[in-house]
Amino acid sequence: MDIRKIKKLIELVEESGIAELEISEGEESVRISRHGAAPIHAAPIQYAAAPAPV
């Protein structure tokens, strides 16, 4: 399969929001799957109490 066709299929998958696409053309087949990364959560900031003056 022509690389330009594959690139176009990748663009279509990204634009459409579908999770997976599989195309067969003669003996060749291509499957493009897109899995969203898990959301990244920042750890909460922890503040320590200032030490008491001596």
Q: Domain span at residue 10?
A: 3-33
Mean pLDDT of the chain: 80
Decide if 48 is inside a domain.
Answer: no
Residue 46 located in a structural domain:
no
21 in a domain, yes or no? yes
54 assigned to some structural domain: no
CA-to-CA separations, 27 to 1, 15, 33, in angstroms, rounded:
10, 27, 20
pLDDT per residue as tens digits for the range 32-52: 888 765 556 666 666 666 677
Find the radius of gyration of the CA atoms of the chain. Answer: 24
Check whether 29 has a pLDDT greater than 60: yes
In a domain, 7, yes or no: yes
Tell me, yes or no, whether 41 lies in a domain.
Answer: no
What is the predicted pLDDT for the residue at 4?
92
| Statement: residue 21 has pLDDT above 60 | yes
50 located within any domain: no
DSSP state of 14: H
Query: Does a structural domain hold residue 40?
Result: no
Number of structural domains (the chain) is: 1
Q: What is the dihedral of CA 32, 19, 12, 15, to 10 degrees?
A: -140
Q: What is the pLDDT of residue 17?
A: 82
- Please state, in angstroms and as integers, the Cα–Cα distance from residue 52 to each residue in 28, 46, 48, 49, following that order: 73, 18, 12, 9
